[in-house]
Structure 1
Amino acid sequence: MNEHLSVFPKRLYALDALRGISALAVVFWHWQHFFFQGALPGQLQTEQQPFYSVFGLFYRHGGDAVALFFSLSGFIFFWLFGHALARGDLTGKQFFAERFSRIYPLHLATFAAVALLQTMYTRYTGNAFVYPFNDLYHGVLNVFLAPAWGLEQGWSFNAPAWSISVEVLLYAVFFLLWRYSPLPIPISIFMIAVAAYVFPAQYKVTLGVFSFFCGGIGHVVVAWLLQRMPSRWVGMGLTIGCVGGWWLFGANQPLIKFALLFPLTIMAIAANHQLLEPVARRMAWLGDISYASYLLHFPLQIFAALLADKFVPGRIVFYQQWTLLLFFAVLIGASLICHRWFERPMQQWLRQFGRERLASGVSARQ
């Protein structure tokens, strides 16, 4: 049995649930968008935001969920793809076709939606909504998944997709590392050290590299432990370490949080997957729609802001609890529809198209 498949089942529902919750945490963090004046933050009354007493942690720290996304990706990629790439069981064409079919269709669709909505919003208000660099140059960067590679002049179009842009670079580095390097794990540790030294310069890329490979090393460590000790002791030890780490360091030290606390949280959840599975199975659908909810929430915000500006005097309405409930209901509903009727069909069609092209190329050479 493959090493990476021997300690975990084919799907970790608890990590799916964590990914879904993290995507919604970003939406809470971005609720402040409704109080921007053009591209500048407005006078936000932070503690007056809807249900702040319940979701205050998300309102204050939801932006950090992007680093958690990167760590989750690193953990999952090291688990599912690392050894398969090293052995040659997974080809480069297969790996990148799967990644492209997963991320590109919805990215392109939401980019187009934001381009249209920003045009409408700018004509109506005279300013772009939050992210101002919506010109041809940045449009080209977005089409080629490059709005966060250091070529940009600022935030543009569906700006939350910056993390998708960095993920594309991480996919390439991960592939090269596991396919061609004899020492992927030591080199991963070296890359973590370099990214930590450079951070926070080139914030987007260094955060991605740092968090992704910390998550990947987290998988290496927890897999090693589970192969040598009973899972209940590993789960208990990691849970104690995780709780102790959050108690000691809290949420206000970025490098410790990204390097230690997020990976440790993922490791503890993965090690306790059997205990968590009954509840996690019921929440895993949040993970299924996490990509859609992450990419759809900003265009939906532009649409909501347009409606509010037209029919409601001022943005004070976004302090009302009913607006948050309505927004999340529409977002989750739209994400469910998008996942079922757009993401999955496009993914299947692109993968089938790629297989047919590959098969036709092989036949032609024969």
Structure 2
Amino acid sequence: MTGELRSLTAARGLAAWLVVLYHIRSGADWAPLWLLEAASKGYLAVDFFFLLSGFVIYLSAHRTMLREGQAAILPFLGRRFARIYPLYGFMLALTVLFVLALQLTGGSTEGYPWRELPLHIAMMQNWGLTELLAWNHPAWSISAESAAYLLFPLLVLRTPIARANRTSLLGAMILTLGLLGLILTGNGESTLGGYIPQFGLIRCLTEFACGAMLCAFWLRGPDGEVHAFAISMAGVAMFWGLWLAGLSGEIWAFPAGAACLILALAHASAFRRNPLHWHGFQALGEISYATYLSHFMLYIWFKIAFVQDPGSVPPMLMLAFLALTLAASFLLHHGIEKPGRLWVQGLTKRAQPRLASRPS
């Protein structure tokens, strides 16, 4: 099975909303402690995204790249740029207009350093070149993903993962996530969400690579969807159970459990009666990029317009913000993201023949 994996599409949408809850939790002082504690771990959805991105991109692109070799690299990068930049650029432009308005009205522009704006335009702000998150904060992961896209052709064309057996792939995934764990713990970190400007890129590259190997592992099986699903879910229960019981650290257990969950969901996509295949969950998955990229700045603007105490946003106002985010996600997905993708794809397709005809 190599078509659309609908369970993964739904999971992408649900994960995006975990990130939303993570960023708005500071305004929900009325919420029960257990809910706030759960929301405080919403940053882990980004690690899930990195793994999932490697899985899905390997699934969609590796065959063409293996068949066409280096000739497939520019078209691949063009498709990825078309996929992520139109909405990324639109949200950055809105943020720039917001900061200009702050300057004109005497408001504080702390957190929006003009000297770093070129890095954000180039999607390079999280390549170890800055010390703090700035501008549209969630975009740091898009910056890290852009680096992963540049390295993806090397992963496919210069490593043996496309022909390795399952045992070798499993060992390579363990080593990759182990390397991430050693780097973070060796630098005194106890969570995956520590100092993002320094460690965000390595989180992305290692987890993206692990996701690609996970897809190669999945493509070599399974012996049976139900049996493989059960084994994968047992892995989720084991790794996350150890983590939640305090017997293993988040750095070690969460990525391993998330990889098992992605594998389980990939197998579950073959199930006929799967609640994740409900059209509502699928719609959330389709607009998840817009949700992820827009919610942070929307929350800032929402609080300026409607909230008196940012540390205590009334429940009804919080629900209104969530509804606004959902509506904005649909509008941005259909009004900016999809048309922008088609427009940029047209530009890159017209440019590729000219680039190919240039003498080397």
What interval of TM-score do these two structures reach, taking the shorter chain for normalisation?
A: 0.7 to 0.9
Aligned to 1:11: 4
| Structure 1 residue 353: Cα displacement | 1.9
Q: Secondary structure at the match of 1:24?
A: helix
What does residue range 306-317 of structure 1 map to in structure 2 within 5 Å?
306-308=304-306, 313-315=308-310, 317=312
Aligned to 1:24: 17
- Stretches of structure 2 that go unaligned for 5 or more consecutive residues are 188-197
Which range is displaced more, 273-282 or 111-120? 273-282
* CA distance, structure 2, for counterparts of residue 155 and residue 31 of structure 1: 17
Aligned to 1:241: 235
* CA distance, structure 2, for counterparts of residue 230 and residue 256 of structure 1: 29
Aligned AA for 2:183?
V
What does residue range 326-341 of structure 1 map to in structure 2 within 5 Å?
326-341=320-335
What does residue range 192-211 of structure 1 map to in structure 2 within 5 Å?
192-199=177-184, 201=187, 202-211=198-207
Q: Secondary structure at the match of 2:93?
A: helix
Say whether 1:143 aligns with 2:137.
Answer: no
> 1:20-66: per-residue Cα shift (whole Å, max 9, x none)?
111111110001465xxxxxxxxx84xx23xx589556512111111
- CA shift in 2, pair 1:299/1:139, >3 Å: same
| Structure 1 residue 314: Cα displacement | 2.6
Say whether 1:297 aligns with 2:282.
Answer: no
* CA distance, structure 2, for counterparts of residue 260 and residue 363 of structure 1: 45
Q: Secondary structure at the match of 1:91?
A: helix
Aligned to 1:72: 52
- CA shift in 2, pair 1:313/1:197, >3 Å: closer
Indicate conservation of the 8 Å contact 1:133/1:153, yes or no: no
Aligned to 1:82: 62
Aligned AA for 1:177?
L
* CA distance, structure 1, for counterparts of residue 106 and residue 301 of structure 2: 13
Aligned to 2:277: 280
Aligned to 2:349: 355
> 1:256-276: per-residue Cα shift (whole Å, max 9, x none)?
234311101111111111225
* CA distance, structure 2, for counterparts of residue 58 and residue 121 of structure 1: 34
What TM-score do the two structures reach when normalised by structure 1? 0.82
Which range is displaced more, 204-213 or 284-293? 204-213
Aligned to 2:151: 173
Aligned AA for 2:7?
A
Aligned AA for 1:245?
F
The percent of aligned pairs where both chains have the same amino acid is 25
* CA distance, structure 2, for counterparts of residue 85 and residue 199 of structure 1: 32
- Count of residues in Structure 1 that have an aligned counterpart in Structure 2: 336
- CA shift in 2, pair 1:144/1:332, >3 Å: same
Indicate conservation of the 8 Å contact 2:240/2:254, yes or no: no
- CA shift in 2, pair 1:155/1:326, >3 Å: same
> 1:117-136: per-residue Cα shift (whole Å, max 9, x none)?
244456668534xxx44222
- Stretches of structure 1 that go unaligned for 5 or more consecutive residues are 1-7, 35-43
Q: Secondary structure at the match of 1:156?
A: coil
Indicate conservation of the 8 Å contact 1:86/1:180, yes or no: no
| Structure 1 residue 281: Cα displacement | 4.0
What does residue range 37-48 of structure 1 map to in structure 2 within 5 Å?
45=29, 48=30
| Structure 1 residue 307: Cα displacement | 1.0
* CA distance, structure 2, for counterparts of residue 314 and residue 348 of structure 1: 42
| Structure 1 residue 93: Cα displacement | 1.4
Which range is displaced more, 85-94 or 10-19? 85-94
Aligned AA for 2:87?
L
| Structure 1 residue 193: Cα displacement | 4.2
- CA shift in 2, pair 1:19/1:54, >3 Å: farther
Aligned AA for 1:299?
M
Indicate conservation of the 8 Å contact 1:86/1:178, yes or no: yes
Indicate conservation of the 8 Å contact 2:13/2:284, yes or no: yes
* CA distance, structure 1, for counterparts of residue 78 and residue 262 of structure 2: 27
What TM-score do the two structures reach when normalised by structure 2? 0.83
* CA distance, structure 2, for counterparts of residue 325 and residue 121 of structure 1: 27
Say whether 1:99 aligns with 2:74.
Answer: no
- CA shift in 2, pair 1:238/1:100, >3 Å: same
Higher relative contact order (CA 8 A, sep 6+): 2
Aligned AA for 2:184?
F
* CA distance, structure 2, for counterparts of residue 302 and residue 27 of structure 1: 12
> 1:311-360: per-residue Cα shift (whole Å, max 9, x none)?
x5433551x22112111111111111111121111111111222223345
Aligned to 2:91: 110
